[in-house]
A and B are shown apart, each in its own frame.
Chain A
Amino acid sequence: MSDIPYKDKGSILRPFKSLQFFARPAVTQPLEPRPASDNYRGFHVNDWKKCIGCSTCQKVCDNAAITMVRVPGLPEDPVKGIRNERPAIDYGRCCWCGLCVDICPTGSISLTTEYVHTCREDELDSYFVLPDPNGIHGEHFPKGWDKTADADLVDLERQPMGELPGEERIDSFDEIVEGYTEQQAIVEASRCVQCGMCHDACPTHMHAPEYIRAIWEGDVEEAVRQMYRTNPFSHVCGRVCTHRCESACSIGRRGEPVAIRWLKRYAMDAVPDLRIREIAAEGKVDYISGRRIAIVGAGPAGLTAAYDLIRKGHKVTVFEALDKPGGMTRYGIPEYRLPYDRLDADVAVITSLGVQIQYNTRVGRDVTMDELRRDHDAVLIAIGLQLGRSTRIPGSDHPQVRRAVDLLRMITRGESFEVPERAVVIGGGNVAMDIARSLARLQKQQFGKVQITVCALEDFEHFLADPEEVTEAREEGIEILDSRGPKEVVIEDGRLTGLKTLGVISIFDEQGRFAPRYDQQDEQFHPGDMVIESIGQMSDVSLLGEELTERLEWNRGRLKVDEDGHSSEPWLWAAGDMVFGPDVVHAVADGHRVAASMERYLAELDSEKQDDGRTS
Chain B
Amino acid sequence: MRPENYQARSQPPSNEFELNFGPNHPGIEGNYAFRVKLNGDQVLEARADAGYLHRGFEKLMEGRLWIQNIALVPRICVPDPVPMEVCYSLAIEEIGGLEVPERAKWIRVMQLEMSRLAAHLFAFGGHAATTGMYTTMFWGVADRDLILDRFEELTGGRVYSIYNIPGGVRRDVPEGFLDRLSSLLDYLESRLPDYDNLFFTNQVFVKRARGVGAMTQEQALKWGVTGPNLRATGLEFDVRRDDPYLVYDQLDFEIPTESGGDALARNLVRRAELKQSIRILRQVIERLPSIEGPIRCPIPNPLAWNVPAGEAYTRVESSKGELAYYVVSTGGDKPYRVHVRGPSSMHAVQVLEKLALGARLEDIAQIMFSLDACPPEVDR
Contact = CB atoms under 8 A, between A and B. Distances in A.
A2 B172 contact: no
B152 A40 contact: yes
A340 interface: no
Contact of A151 (B149, B171, B194): B171
Contacts of A1: 256-258, 272
B272 A2 contact: yes
A6 B71 contact: no
A17 interface: yes
Contact of A150 (B71, B149, B294, B304): B294
A579 interface: no
Interface stretch (B51-59, B118-126, B198-206, B314-322): B198-206
Interface string B154-178: 0111001010000000111010000
Contact of A4 (B64, B268, B294): B268
Interface in A1-59: 1-6, 8-10, 12, 14-15, 17-18, 21, 27, 36-41, 56, 59
A114 B294 CA distance: 30
B70 interface: yes
A385 B157 CA distance: 63
A196 interface: no
A60 B172 contact: no
From DSSP, what is the main secondary structure of chain A's interface residues? loop
A12 B302 CA distance: 59
Given A5-B201, A18-B198, A190 B305 contact: yes
Interface string B59-94: 000001101111110000000000000000000000
Given A96-B157, A99-B67, A150-B171, A6 B304 contact: no
B189 interface: no
Contacts of A18: 135, 194, 197-198
Contacts of A335: none
A9 B203 contact: yes
B157 A41 contact: yes
Given A27-B142, A38-B153, A144-B156, A3 B298 contact: no
Interface string A50-74: 0000001001101100000000000
B301 A155 contact: yes
Interface in A209-251: 213, 216
Contact of B304 (A5, A17, A148, A192): A192
B263 interface: no
A462 B15 CA distance: 96
Contact of B201 (A10, A95, A154): A10
Interface residues of A, number: 52
B325 to A, nearest CB: 18
Interface in A169-228: 187, 189-194, 213, 216
A304 B257 CA distance: 80
Contact of A6 (B149, B170, B206): B206
A102 to B, nearest CB: 7
Interface string B195-219: 0111011111010000000000000
Interface residues of B, number: 51
A193 B303 CA distance: 7
A38 B202 contact: no
Contacts of B12: none
Contacts of B156: 37, 39-41, 98, 111, 144-145
Nearest to B152: A37
Nearest to A97: B71
A194 B206 contact: no
Nearest to A6: B201
B264 interface: yes
Nearest to B146: A27
B380 interface: no
A39 B174 contact: yes
Contact of B268 (A6, A111, A187): A6
Given A62-B64, A150-B295, A190-B301, A4 B271 contact: yes
B311 to A, nearest CB: 21
A145 B294 CA distance: 19
A60 B67 CA distance: 9
B289 interface: no
Centre residue among A96, A99, A148, A155 by max chain B CB count within 10 A: A99
Contact of B197 (A17, A60, A151, A190): A17
Contacts of B160: 95
B379 to A, nearest CB: 19
A15 B197 contact: yes
A557 B300 CA distance: 53
B272 A4 contact: yes
Given A15-B202, A18-B194, A60 B68 contact: yes
A39 B171 contact: yes
B71 A62 contact: yes
Contacts of B65: 60, 62
A59 B303 contact: yes
Nearest to B68: A62
Contacts of A194: 303
Contacts of B197: 14-15, 17-18
B116 interface: no
Contacts of B142: 27
Centre residue among A15, A189, A213 by max chain B CB count within 10 A: A15
Given A6-B201, A15-B202, A37-B152, A148 B171 contact: yes
Contacts of A3: 272, 275
A155 B174 CA distance: 24
A611 B211 CA distance: 102
B296 interface: yes
A103 interface: yes
Nearest to B254: A1
Contacts of B268: 2, 4, 6
A153 interface: yes
Contacts of A148: 171-172
Given A148-B171, A150-B295, A97 B300 contact: no
A190 B300 contact: yes
B203 A10 contact: yes
B71 A187 contact: no
A97 B85 CA distance: 13
A27 to B, nearest CB: 5
Contacts of A2: 256, 258, 268, 272
A395 B55 CA distance: 85
Contacts of B202: 14-15
Interface in B172-189: 172, 174
29 contacts: A1-B257, A2-B256, A2-B268, A2-B272, A4-B196, A4-B272, A17-B194, A18-B197, A27-B142, A37-B156, A39-B174, A41-B157, A56-B303, A95-B71, A95-B160, A97-B70, A97-B71, A97-B162, A98-B170, A99-B68, A102-B170, A150-B294, A153-B67, A154-B301, A187-B300, A190-B300, A190-B304, A191-B300, A216-B304
Given A102-B170, A153-B301, 19 more contacts: A6-B200, A6-B206, A10-B203, A14-B202, A15-B198, A37-B153, A37-B156, A38-B174, A40-B152, A40-B156, A41-B162, A59-B303, A60-B67, A62-B65, A103-B303, A144-B156, A150-B294, A192-B303, A192-B304
Interface of A: 1-6, 8-10, 12, 14-15, 17-18, 21, 27, 36-41, 56, 59-60, 62-63, 95-99, 102-103, 111, 144-145, 148, 150-151, 153-155, 187, 189-194, 213, 216
Interface of B: 64-65, 67-72, 135, 142, 149, 152-153, 155-157, 160, 162, 170-172, 174, 194, 196-198, 200-204, 206, 256-258, 264, 268, 271-272, 275, 294-296, 298-305
> Top 4 nearest A-B pairs by Cβ distance?
A62-B68, A97-B71, A190-B304, A41-B156
